[in-house]
Chains A and B, each alone.
Chain A
Amino acid sequence: MKVLIIDDEKGIIKMYSEYFKMAGMQTLEASDGTTGIKLAKEQKPDVILLDIIMPRYNGLDVLKDIKADEEIKNIPVFLLTNLPQESSGGKAKELGAAGYLVKAENEPKMVLDVIRGAAANK
């Protein structure tokens, strides 16, 4: 299973990447939306984990562009952010996100369970 993590925070990428690799997954890493979309098109991951607050190209815009792209629009995108659900949860749902996870409240194990479930239902 292939997971793409788009996050500008290196520590976050490292942490999730480490955990998912230990669970036997292949991880792809992008520190901004443009690289993320490019990687998604090239590698066709099973799931995308996307941060919201990123410089220049925020996660909600990235999500909008992913959903507008025929090639990658069917890949489930989970917003993995530290913005509270109240702040962007509604918008994320409207744009077609598969889920909204607050990093601090969800340990890597919980995130892993969620994306495994999504990949199984795909």
Chain B
Amino acid sequence: MSFSKVHRYEGIVEIFTWVIIILVIFFVRFLPQRLIDNDHVYYLIGAIISFILLYYLIIYKYFNRPYRIYLKTIADIVLIGVLIHVLKDYGQYFFALYFLPIAAAALELEFINALIIATIASVFVAFEVFLGSQELLPPTSQLYQGAWQIGLILLMTIFCRALALQIRQERSEKEEAQTRQKALEEEAARQKEFLSLTSHQLYTPLSIIRGFVSMLHEEKLGKLSPKQKDAADEIYISTKRMVALVSELLSISRIQSGTFELKLAPTDIFELIKKTVDEFNQGRPKENVQLFYNRVARIEPIQIDADKIRNVLYNLIDNAFKYTPKGKISISCEQKNDTTTVKVIDEGVGIKDEDIEKLFQPFFRGKNILELDNKGTGLGLYVARLIIEKHGGKIWGESNSQAGRKGSTFAFSIPNNFNSPGGK
């Protein structure tokens, strides 16, 4: 039951409880001893119950929560006092009933109000001690009994108060954490919107330039002179690089700002490799370089974001092409211990040991590649690293020289059943 429901029914529950207690007092204690005339008992019960109903009606209608609890607790103390007085022959431990309203008051009210309520209860205890005695000064044993009862009541008040402070602190910490979380989520949503609009604004003029330049490049708008064709080709290549750069910068921003979400689904990674290699071979054949994949017997589907992993494969193959002016580029895939490893092995110029660590940093080029090609964005491997890390995996590069071969190997491994907290 939720707290709001508890609050809604608390008045009814309390009245009901007290009516039962009053009936028990009268029927168990007074009636068998014929202390009160039977006819008058019913009038008395009716009068007391009406008084309680009226009292609760007034405090629920005219008082707000803290005052209401204060007044209700005082009523509770009075009723408990009466109950204890009635039951005094059955034992001295009924005074523990005072703990209930005192605990409630200490948890809900300010310390001073809880202390007032504890004092009222203590006065009732003292009253009971003196009322039970025939002498002016009760016997020492009874005084001791009253003293430890009052002591326990005060201890209970302090204990509950400390507990209340603890609960309040935890609650405020929790609320603070929730507020912080909400603020973070709002900020992430703002970032996402900002990045979407930024990409839109940057892409719109670029797509018009790219479209028209591709027409010039394909000579769809008329035959160009050799010089015009050269110029159109240069603009075409540069525009494509610009689009790739913007796309990668936006990917990095999305990953770093936490607005990047993986759409995980069981995927046949071998099919993905095959498709990417085929696209590559169709799109950009390079006469001196052969790109192929190694067939594998059986590959289990793995939990990945296929679009993003395709992007990684694309970047690794693109990178291998840059390092390989001539030779073969092969892609292999294997599954072992719930992990899938994909390797892109080239026969290119290789990488120097001191460059390996830096390869996956933004805008880093190995010394060897500086002398070969500078047409990349310098961000591809960095984006690949971020995507693989998002999949809970790792990515690395190594020289093939240790295996006594030419070139280098770029590889990544990812868990087969990754379940990202940010994934969908």
Contacts and interface: CB of A to CB of B under 8 A. Distances in A.
Nearest to B260: A86
A108 B203 contact: no
B214 interface: yes
B246 interface: yes
A9 B220 contact: no
A15 interface: yes
User: Which of B195, B196, B206, B246 gathers the greatest number of chain A CB atoms within 10 Å?
Assistant: B196
A12 B203 CA distance: 11
B200 A53 contact: yes
A9 B204 contact: yes
B209 to A, nearest CB: 9
B207 A12 contact: yes
Contacts of B307: 85
Contacts of A73: none
A11 interface: yes
Interface residues of A, number: 23
Contacts of B215: 15, 18-19, 22, 108
A85 B152 CA distance: 68
B220 A104 contact: no
Contacts of A81: 200
Contacts of B210: 104, 107
A82 interface: yes
Interface residues of B, number: 27
Contacts of A87: 192, 196
Nearest to A16: B211
Contacts of B218: 109
A116 interface: no
Contacts of A15: 208, 211-212, 215
B250 A84 contact: yes
B208 A107 contact: no
B247 interface: yes
Chain A interface SS verdict (over half): helix
B243 interface: yes
User: Which of A12, A22, A107 gathers the greatest number of chain B CB atoms within 10 Å?
Assistant: A107
Nearest to B247: A105
B169 interface: no
B199 A19 contact: no
A103 B254 contact: no
B10 interface: no
A58 to B, nearest CB: 12
B357 interface: no
B220 A19 contact: yes
Interface string B184-223: 0000000010011001100111111011101100101100
A53 B212 CA distance: 22
B389 interface: no
Given A9-B204, A104-B206, A82 B199 contact: yes
Interface string B148-162: 000000000000000
A98 interface: no
User: Which of B192, B204, B210, B250 gathers the greatest number of chain A CB atoms within 10 Å?
Assistant: B204
A104 B246 contact: yes
A118 interface: no
Interface in A83-99: 83-87
Interface string A52-91: 0100000000000000000000000000011111110000
B261 A86 contact: yes
B247 A108 contact: no
A109 B214 contact: yes
B199 A107 contact: no
A12 B212 CA distance: 10
A13 B243 CA distance: 20
Given A18-B215, A108-B215, A109-B218, A9 B250 contact: no
A84 B214 contact: no
A102 interface: yes
B204 A82 contact: yes
A71 to B, nearest CB: 31
Given A11-B205, A19-B220, 16 more contacts: A12-B204, A12-B207, A15-B211, A15-B212, A22-B220, A53-B200, A81-B200, A82-B203, A83-B196, A83-B200, A84-B199, A107-B211, A108-B211, A108-B214, A109-B214, A109-B218
3 smallest beta-carbon distances between A and B, as pairs: A82-B203, A103-B207, A104-B203
13 contacts: A9-B204, A15-B208, A15-B212, A15-B215, A19-B220, A82-B207, A83-B196, A86-B196, A86-B260, A103-B203, A103-B207, A103-B211, A104-B210
